[in-house]
Structure 1
Amino acid sequence: MSTPLSESVWLNDVDVCQVEYLAEVSGLSIEEIEDLIDTDVIKPVDAGTPTRMFQLRYVVTVKTARRLRDDFELDRRGLALALSLLQRIDELQAEIHATKARLGHPR
């Protein structure tokens, strides 16, 4: 009996990857990922370098993008809009939690 090996990656804001890796793990095309970059859904670490690198946390974003695209048959603009709205919701929820913490309210 053999145990299948799986690759694991620690998703964080420190380690980086190239756009090709994001395409590989998500199933999105490079063009679809470029649309997400153009709409600021994902942002390179340093836009001024020839090889754009991205924080590994964007793996979650591009995988979510592929699921949204497939499940809801979204085009590129719809996909970018849906992801932007989801990110805004996350930001607002974080603000609510921070405000509650400052005021001493339990979650």
Structure 2
Amino acid sequence: MSTQFAEPAGQDDGQVCHIEYLAEVSGLSTDEIEDLVSIGLIAPADDAVRPPAFGLCCVLTVKTARRLRDDFQLDRHGVALALTLVQQIRELRAELKALQARLG
């Protein structure tokens, strides 16, 4: 499978990738990635672009999803729950770091 990149439509100059690339680098199937999209854990960079293109930040999410699935033998619902919790932890850590920086 070849790496497929595209330029995002109507967004900044950052690169995006197609679902096949996400599947290639993560080890997930395109159906599993579509599940992540349907539950809102990743989203295409622009809903109007077909085929959908995803920001490269989604690479980390799909790789994490595959590790969670494989390491803990989780089904799609377990992966979704675990990913949601991982994302919340990352956001809370970032908020804590910003607060600590403001306090000195």
**Category of TM-score, reference length = shorter chain:** 0.7 to 0.9
User: Which residue identity lines up with residue 72 of structure 1 in the other structure?
Assistant: F
Aligned counterparts of 1:46 and 1:57: Cα–Cα separation in 2: 14
Q: Residue in 1 aligned with 2:60?
A: 60
Highest relative contact order (Cα 8 Å, sep 6+), 1 or 2?
1
TM-align CA RMSD: 1.6
Moved over 2 A (4+): none
**Residue by residue, what CA displacement relative to the aligned partner does 1:48-102 show, whole Å, maximum 9, x if unpaired?**
2222111112111111111110110000111011101100110011001101111
Aligned counterparts of 1:81 and 1:34: Cα–Cα separation in 2: 16
Structure showing greater radius of gyration is: 1
Q: TM-score under structure 2 normalisation? A: 0.83
Q: TM-score under structure 1 normalisation? A: 0.81
Q: Residue in 1 aligned with 2:41?
A: 41
Q: Secondary structure at the match of 1:17?
A: strand
Identity %: 61
Any residues of structure 2 matched to 1:71-86 within 5 Å, and which? 71-86=71-86
Q: Which runs of 5+ in 1 are unaligned?
A: 1-12
Any residues of structure 2 matched to 1:81-100 within 5 Å, and which? 81-100=81-100
Aligned counterparts of 1:87 and 1:48: Cα–Cα separation in 2: 26
Q: Secondary structure at the match of 2:17?
A: strand
Q: How many residues align?
A: 93
Aligned counterparts of 2:45 and 2:56: Cα–Cα separation in 1: 10
Aligned counterparts of 2:48 and 2:96: Cα–Cα separation in 1: 34
